[in-house]
Structure 1
Amino acid sequence: MKRKLLILFFLATLGVSGQTIELLGKVSSLSDVENIHVINSTAQAFTITDKNGEFKIPVRLHDTIVFSSIQYKLKEVIVTHRMLVNKAVLVKLDEQINELDEVFIGKILTGDLFSDIKNTKGDRPLNFFDVGIPGYTGRIATQSERQLSEASSFNPSLGGSGYGLGASVGFTPIINAITGRTKMLRNRVKLDEEQSLILSIKGRLGKDFFASNPLDEDFRMDFLYFCSDDANFFKFCKNQTDFRILIFLRMKYKQYVANREE
């Protein structure tokens, strides 16, 4: 009877160990536990925690789960048999403490009034707020955007009376449109925006993404440019959540790897 029980227990253990289950987890810490990246580096699956620090991710026995966030130290957890049986895990993260070298801010006062006055910098320059003049506080246009605006703006001259037949309109925008300069500048603005978005994605998500989707350093920028060639690049990556962007990158990663293998 004992032997039969041992055999049944062994078979049940094998059944649990060999299958993929959805692991329910919770991250605990004294700080914010939302939007922490949870990566199954073995199965190349990923998710993020919710506002309560909870997450769900598919796992198998001995899979490696990586927890990554700017404010916490990197942590790896190996899936054990007990986790598979309980289908749950509690993970405690340690805060990342960045110590800075000792620095001196400002001038060191000596006590000599005349000497300290000479070594002290003056006040900051006046701006339009100080004198009550309205000013622009929005995003500063790039050089390409300014050139496009100048090349495509149809402004009546000082002697004109409007945009009707009697208006005197500058011919430069018309010439730019005919010669293709306006189209060229419009494409340059798009390329600048595309390049900026690529660098932003690489800086924010590159480390975590390539941890579960391995790619040589020499090919990582090539992969991101491959993603930007997709017609839906801006739709899935501009002003979107990290999770939505990661899903798009994962889809393009499969295509990129397949193309390289071919």
Structure 2
Amino acid sequence: MKSVIGFIVLFSFQFAYTQSVKITGKIKSGTNVENIHVINKTAQKFTITNASGEFIIPARLNDTLRFSSVQHKLKDVLITQEIITSKTVTVILEEKINALNQVTVGKILTGDLSSDIGTVKGETPINFYDVGIPGYTGKIATQSERRLAEAGEFKPKMLLGALTGSIPLNPILNGISGRTKMLKKRVKHERNEALITKLRQEFSESLFSIYPLSEEFRADFFYFCEMDENFYQTCNGKSDLEVLEFLKHKLKQYKANQQED
């Protein structure tokens, strides 16, 4: 009889230990609490916080939750029996403090014209708002994007212009010489490079907390992601969860390639 009771107690303890429950959490911080990455390192699950800093994530006793964001210091929280019982957790995150460069107040002239010209105060230049005329307020194009726009893109219907004597020569000549194609590749590369740099900064801690990768291979891994033909369409403007899923998929591919090599 004692052995049966002991077995039941042991089974109950084992069940409670391995049972996964949904933990409802709340982030508190003096700064923005939206889009903070919440990672269950033990179960390899992740989610993000909403605008109020709230989240829901499955966890078991003794799992470790990691909280990561660009604005906050990294923090790990161990899932205790108290958290399992209440199914709630409140986490206070400490804001990262970035040291600012030394600021000098007032003019200091060195005698070097190229240096001193930057310290001279002048009147704010008049812009199109001041004189009441319309102006462009959208995203400023890069040098490569401007060059591509100037080169134009050849379209067969342009040849119809020969009938009226108004055929545009730039798009045709640039298309034949391959300059337009070269500029398109350059614009695409610069666009992808800017996005992968942003993702590397924002997602490295979260991704490698769940799926470890040696520091020496991380730069190569992100280059591997950038080379995916669907990289920009899959990651640009997407939610953090969608981006993490893409990076997780690519990391599995990358590790498989390493094993083959």
Using structure 1 for the length normalisation, give the TM-score.
Answer: 0.77
Instruction: Give aligned-pair identity as a percent.
Output: 49
- The aligned residue for residue 249 of structure 1 is 247
Following superposition, the deviation at residue 134 of structure 1 comes to: 3.9
Superposition pairs for residues 102-251 of structure 1, below 5 Å? 103-106=103-106, 121-152=121-152, 163=161, 165-251=163-249
* CA deviation profile, 1:47-92 (whole Å, cap 9, x unmatched): 1112343322233332221112344332211122333344433323
Change (3 A) 1:11 1:88: farther
Larger Rg: 1
Superposition pairs for residues 6-25 of structure 1, below 5 Å? 8-25=8-25
Counterpart residue identity of residue 37, structure 1: H
Aligned partners of 2:221 and 2:251 also within 8 Å: yes
Give the number of the structure with larger relative contact order, counting CA–CA contacts within 8 Å between residues 6 or more apart: 2
Report SS of the residue matched to 1:25: strand
Structure-2 separation of matches of 1:140 and 1:93: 36
- The aligned residue for residue 45 of structure 1 is 45
Counterpart residue identity of residue 47, structure 2: T
Aligned partners of 1:24 and 1:87 also within 8 Å: yes
Aligned partners of 2:29 and 2:93 also within 8 Å: yes
Change (3 A) 1:106 1:127: farther
Structure-1 separation of matches of 2:53 and 2:6: 38
Structure-2 separation of matches of 1:202 and 1:171: 42
Change (3 A) 1:143 1:241: same
Using structure 2 for the length normalisation, give the TM-score.
Answer: 0.78
Aligned partners of 1:62 and 1:79 also within 8 Å: yes
Change (3 A) 1:55 1:101: same
Aligned partners of 1:17 and 1:84 also within 8 Å: no
- The aligned residue for residue 68 of structure 1 is 68
Q: Relative to total residues, which structure has the larger helix share, 1 or 2?
A: 2
Structure-2 separation of matches of 1:7 and 1:92: 40
Counterpart residue identity of residue 40, structure 2: N
Larger mean CA deviation between 96-105 and 67-76 belongs to 96-105
Larger mean CA deviation between 43-52 and 86-95 belongs to 86-95
Following superposition, the deviation at residue 247 of structure 1 comes to: 1.4
Aligned partners of 2:68 and 2:205 also within 8 Å: no
Q: In the alignment, does 2:86 pair up with 1:83?
A: no
Report SS of the residue matched to 1:250: helix
Between the two proteins, the alignment pairs up a number of residues equal to 245
Report SS of the residue matched to 1:123: coil
Aligned partners of 1:17 and 1:81 also within 8 Å: no
Following superposition, the deviation at residue 126 of structure 1 comes to: 3.3
Structure 2 residue runs of 5 or longer lacking an equivalent are 109-118, 155-159
Following superposition, the deviation at residue 127 of structure 1 comes to: 3.4
Aligned partners of 1:36 and 1:67 also within 8 Å: yes
Report SS of the residue matched to 1:138: coil
Structure-1 separation of matches of 2:172 and 2:100: 57
Could you tell me which of 231, 256, 259 is aligned with 1:258? 256
Following superposition, the deviation at residue 245 of structure 1 comes to: 0.9
